[in-house]
A = this chain, B = another copy of it.
Amino acid sequence: MRISRLKNLKLLISDPSDIFYFTGFYPQFQAFLLIDRKPVLFLCEECRSKIEKHGLEKLKEWVSGEEVGIDEKNLAVEWLKKLEIKPWPASQLIKKLRMVKEPEEVEKIKRAVRVTKEILEEIEIKGREIDVEWQIRQKLAEKRALPAFQPIVASGPNSRIIHHRPEKRKIRKGDVVILDLGARIDFYCSDITRTLGGDRELRERVLDIQGRIIDMLEPGRQIKEIDREYERLLGRKPWHSWGHGIGIDVHEPLGDTILEGMVLTVEPGIYQRTGCRFEDVVWIRKKGARVL
């Protein structure tokens, strides 16, 4: 059991993705999972206000005055006061378990990747950026997948903007187009980027950097070492990091070291007159990274 790996600690888990990880239930409203001798889930079954009125009293009885590990990156300030706990920061500890994926988690990410790649093959680049965005959203719904994040469709000069939001710009023949999208299936995410058109040499250079980083990804490798190599390959400070963990959340922390069983994205990018980025999802095996 996942929770048993946290035993002998009193933890208050508040991030819905963490609660899903430990319980298999994804809360839509405020919920708390108290991990102590036995885990208890405090649920708001009806509406946000109900947990404050009912569940809160019980939860407070159990934790008030106690030293409790909290997810300081997620827990809202008001709960510290309401629950009267002595908090200690446990975000890293809580997230750490999620870094290494179990085989059934990898299977779900694979399905999300497969659907995303299908959409990338089917998509027609025509009309305005937002038209392409809606084409992506329609295809996701047709394939019974949720968007893992707002799809990026960045054309022409907009391709330099890393988290560009599709706008009414008409895509012209010969424009560079960056498509960055992900499906979420069974609560697990994918995140893939393709750059269409533009300077061929630039595309090859970015793909080469991506390949070199993927080659470095083996268990035991330090993240800092990859950061340094990425900076060296680019010949400058990166515009954004070379990748991120992925799973129940589209962005998950990576920790300090690559571990067997991690799933992450590799997404180097170069942004000049136009931008270029390629992103794939990889799974860390004993001998190195396998592109999903």
Contact = CB atoms under 8 A, between A and B. Distances in A.
A162 interface: yes
Given A28-B163, A77-B70, A46 B239 contact: yes
B77 A46 contact: no
Interface stretch (A3-11, A99-107, A136-144, A214-222): A136-144
Interface in A70-122: 70, 72-78, 80-81, 87, 89, 91
A251 interface: yes
Nearest to A139: B141
A150 B146 CA distance: 11
Contacts of A47: 240-241, 244, 251
A291 B241 CA distance: 49
A170 interface: no
Nearest to A46: B240
Contacts of A29: 163
A241 B77 contact: no
Interface of A: 28-29, 45-49, 70, 72-78, 80-81, 87, 89, 91, 134, 137-138, 140-142, 144, 146, 149-150, 162-163, 165, 239-241, 244, 251
Top 7 nearest A-B pairs (CB, nearest first) are A72-B78, A138-B141, A72-B77, A137-B141, A141-B141, A46-B240, A75-B77
